[in-house]
Amino acid sequence: MTPDGRAIRGLTLPGQVPARIPGYVPDYVTAGQSDDVFRVLHVCTGNVCRSPMAERLMRHGLARRLGDGAAGILVESAGTWGHEGAPMEAHAAAVLTEFGADPCRFTGRELLDDHVIGADLVLTATRDHRAQVISMGHAAGLRTFTLKEFTRLVRAIDQATLPDGGVTERARALVRAAAALRGWLLAPSAEADEVHDPYGAPVSYFRSIGEEIHTALDPVVTALTGIPAPATV
């Protein structure tokens, strides 16, 4: 059943499902945003470790696939207890450099209503962060997921059914399809949807969290763009 009690016709699980699911189109509206830009917001607690790594790794993945076309997807981050004005943690910056991503000119931000209102997709580090974003209102429920939750849902969508009218149209259709699947594809455990906080940990733990984020982001960026990651030389 969908969140409002309607059955989703034509859905067979397990396996991939169409992006356009007959019988169910969520009310998905992003207020006040340009049709030619898709906005992604990554959220963690302090906005100095996990969400900065997710932001910069996603930007890097988009640039590798789309080049100048990556400008059609704007990726930002904020923290529920954001260290406003702070740089990202040095270990987080070091891990980004190892991935070839740019850690420079980052400034921490406190999560504000305007950030949520402006986002087409909100990806959080944990379920608690997801709940905090949704509790802010702004019809955020259908476009807010934990990062790993969104990855799991994206893997189940038949990407051949996504529209090919441009990256923005494709990305918005992907979010609608993922929202329609929520409740059908549950996490194997509560921990499966969490990215743990490396704050204060040694660089080796930051490195493992960076790899975890990168692994979760790769299929998401591929689905958003329709382009697999280039082979690593």
**CATH code of the domain containing 125:** 3.40.50.2300
Q: Looking at residues 138-143, what average pLDDT do you find?
A: 94
Residue tagged 């302090």 (tokens): 46
Question: Is residue 213 domain-resident?
Answer: yes
Confidence band for 16, pLDDT divided at 50, 70 and 90: low
Rounded CA gap, 99 and 207, in Å? 10
pLDDT value of position 209: 99
* 166-186 as b/e: b if 16+ CB within 10 A: ebbebbbbbbbbbbbbbeeee
Share above pLDDT 90 across residues of the chain, in percent, rounded to a whole number? 74
Reported as a single tens digit per residue, the pLDDT across 164-175 is 889 999 999 999
pLDDT value of position 230: 82
Question: Is residue 124 domain-resident?
Answer: yes
Beta strands 38-44 and 121-124, pairing class: parallel
- Judging by beta carbons within 10 Å of its beta carbon (0-12, 13-18, 19+), is residue 51 exposed, middle or buried? buried
Question: Is residue 2 domain-resident?
Answer: no
pLDDT value of position 165: 83
Question: Is residue 57 domain-resident?
Answer: yes
Question: Is residue 21 domain-resident?
Answer: no
Question: Is residue 20 domain-resident?
Answer: no
Question: Is residue 16 domain-resident?
Answer: no
Q: Using the predicted structure, report yes or no on whether residue 158 has a pLDDT greater than 80.
A: yes
Q: Which two tokens stand for residue 124?
A: 């959080």
pLDDT value of position 226: 94
Confidence band for 22, pLDDT divided at 50, 70 and 90: very low
Q: Using the predicted structure, report yes or no on whether residue 120 has a pLDDT greater than 70.
A: yes
Q: How many structural domains are present in the chain?
A: 1
Q: Using the predicted structure, report yes or no on whether residue 93 has a pLDDT greater than 50.
A: yes
User: Is the whole model's pTM more than 0.75, yes or no?
Assistant: yes
pLDDT value of position 190: 81
Q: Looking at residues 85-94, what average pLDDT do you find?
A: 98
Structural domain harbouring 134: 34-225
Q: Looking at residues 56-78, what average pLDDT do you find?
A: 95
Q: Using the predicted structure, report yes or no on whether residue 189 has a pLDDT greater than 70.
A: yes
Confidence band for 21, pLDDT divided at 50, 70 and 90: very low
Question: Is residue 230 domain-resident?
Answer: no
Rounded CA gap, 61 and 105, in Å? 18
Helix-, strand-, coil-residue percentages of the chain, each rounded to 5: 45, 10, 45
